[in-house]
Structure 1
Amino acid sequence: MFKYISEAEWYLIGASLLFVLFFSLFIYFLYRIKEKQNNFLNKEKSLKSQFSETLLQSQLEIKEETLQHISQELHDNLGQVASLIKIHLNTLQLHDTAKAAEKIDDTKELVRQLIFDIKSLSLSLGTNKIQQIGLAKALRLEIQRLKKLEQFTISYSGVEEVSGLNADKAIILYRMFQEICNNIIKHSKAKHIHVLLTVSNNLLTLVVHDDGIGFDPALLEGNGSGLDNLRNRAQLIKSNLTIASTPDKGTTISIILPLNHVAPEPDNKVSFS
């Protein structure tokens, strides 16, 4: 004989099934949340590792550029001034006091120039200069170095210093600036470059404009490793990179970086006009 199931027992069975269903859903959602959390932590760990590698690479690239600059300065500038000092001293005629005094004064001026050049050169040693003197002054020193190439005119306008900028991000940003200038020198045939650095509403904006030949936007599609490198570094420091270029009308590259993580983080993008 089949046992008759009462209404109360049906309620109990239904409640048990609902409990099992809700408990299963709870376990599932808990698992999904844990999975997303692990994915987020793994992605964050990967980004930190990538940032550290990029930071190290940027430091090495800056040091390589610095060593090349020092080598050039020693050969083209300091070496020549030192040679002039040596010539002045070797040709010093003490019996002619008037000429000797004049040559000594010239030698003193050359020594002062040599000391000044050595001090200026010391400021460009390594990536510590960015921490010591700040990004704005480091950019101006780099611009002074580029002026000596005498291939174009280059000017700077904007802030004298930047506060609230993470030192590691400053190094990567400085290296991005160097890379932009190197690309201009190699490819743009520009006659003038203008650099603008501003800080407003907790956003740092670095703009580099040249009046060179520009380029076809299609060249960016997988062929511009230098530009790809800029995009990757911009993304790592959570900045907005914009590249606007028109053939025969020059190129403008803008980098907008939030300071102190207060401003919203814009997506990295590339646009043309």
Structure 2
Amino acid sequence: MSQRKSNEKALDSIINEMIETVTNSKDEIFHIGEQSRNELEETVAELQETKRLVKMVIEERDELEVKASLSRKRLSEVSKYFDKYSEEEVHEVYEHTHQIQMKLSVKREQEKQLRDKRDDLELRLRRIEDTLKRAEALGAKISVVLHYLNEDFRDVSEKLEDAREKQAFGLKIIEAQEEERRRLSREIHDGPAQMLANVMLRSELIGRIHQERGPEEALQEIKNVRKMVRSALYEVRRIIYDLRPMALDDLGLIPTLKKYVANIEEYNNTVVYFTSLGSDKRLHSKYEVAFFRLVQEATQNAIKHAEASKIDVKIEINKSNVTIIVRDDGKGFDSTQKTENSFGIIGMKERVEMLSGKIVIDSKLGIGTMVHIEVPINVYE
């Protein structure tokens, strides 16, 4: 009895650590939101200033066009009655017309660059607003998770019988959280962070390029920087999608799985075949999230651990049950032997059991693995 209480206290300690970890994550997201708000304010101010400059340059260009028109008329008159003017007067008219045309050309190029900058700032503003909205939404979800950890999850210790399993389960959750944080940190550092650092470096060179090589090369450098920003944004969106695909809430399970499979093929040297049978109607949110995570875990295991070159994903939705089959041609494993670090498989089994379903994992060394899942559903929930 005392041993059980001791283990329950250990689990409570683990839960407290989890709460602290999630709280720190919430603080980090809040910090990201604050940074986005500051960047939003700076971008709005810069956009307003750029619009003011665009308006001013347009007015100056209009004045130069009027002057250029008058100068061309004067030049036409001098050219027509050439013998009435001295050589000095003719030269002066030609020189004056040339200078106005040069100023007009420079002003037009300046206007074009400012318009491009304005358009880029408007696009950047929309992206920052989108990031801010996502950060706020993610913060709200983490608040829900914190409430769950503080209230409902503390009842787990009363429902589990084996205290050692409870302790191991809690430790595995923390390990999985930390591993996920390390993976995200590596992805952000190696992807968007590196790209944005390069963007900052390249953007600082644009002014120098404009002075030393001219506006055309500076404009080309701006285009290159724009491509790098677009790539960084694509990487950020991919990372956000792995965390929680927004399409799952907006479009439903099947479209989200199709997009997820396409992303897997794009980022891994793996061919993935996806087949959907039966109904394509929306399911209850708890089912859609669970089925997506099950397919995600099974495919990630096939890629990371089995090193599969081909994966078949099949899902069939009927009125009373859902069947999921994920088959790969990877190196497989001996399913009769219990392996360490198999928390992904344990998590899948736990999730299926929570849904009152059944899961069978059939794997053979050198042949591949098949995950077969059947879950009863209530379409009226």
Q: Distance in 1 between matches of 2:203 and 2:256?
A: 36
Q: What residue number does 1:158 align with? A: 275
Instruction: Report the residue type matching 1:81 in the other structure.
Output: M
Distance 1:72 1:163, change over 3 A: farther
State how far apart, in whole Å, the 1-side matches of 2:313 and 2:357 are: 18
Structure 1 distance, partners of 2:246, 2:177, is 10
Aligned to 1:196: 314
Shift of 1:192: 2.7
- Cα distance in structure 2, aligned partners of 1:148 and 1:69: 19
Q: Aligned runs of 1:1-273 on 2, under 5 Å?
A: 67-92=181-206, 93-95=209-211, 96-126=214-244, 130-140=248-258, 143=261, 146=264, 150=268, 152-159=269-276, 163-185=281-303, 187-200=305-318, 203-219=321-337, 227-260=345-378
8 A contact 2:253–2:282 mirrored in 1 = no
Q: Is the 8 A contact 1:63 1:127 kept in 2?
A: no
Instruction: Give secondary structure in 2 for the equivalent of 1:180.
Output: helix
**Alpha-carbon separation, structure 2, partners of 1:196 and 1:178:** 13
Aligned-pair CA distance for 1:226: 5.2
Long gaps (5+) in structure 2 = 1-155, 161-165
Q: Deviations over 1:63-85 (max 9, x none)?
A: 76764453233112111221231
Question: Structure 1 pair 220/164, CA: closer, same or farther in 2 (3 Å)?
Answer: farther
Aligned-partner Cα distance in 2 for 1:159–1:109:
36
Q: CA deviation at 1:254?
A: 1.8
Structure 1 gap segments, 5+ residues each? 1-45, 263-273
1:43 aligned residue:
none
TM-score, scaled relative to structure 1 = 0.58
Aligned residues: 212
The structural deviation recorded for 1:249 is 1.5
Residue 275 of structure 2 aligns with an amino acid whose one-letter code is G
Identity %: 23
Output the CA distance in 2 between the equivalents of 1:139 and 1:94. Answer: 47
AA aligned to 1:70 is: L
| Higher-helix-fraction structure | 2
Matched-pair contact (CA < 8 Å) for 1:240–1:257: yes
Q: Distance in 1 between matches of 2:353 and 2:235?
A: 37
The offset of 1:129, in angstroms, is 6.7
Contact 2:192–2:233 (Cα < 8 Å) also in 1: no
Deviation at 1:144, TM superposition (A): 5.9
**How high is the TM-score relative to the length of structure 2?**
0.44
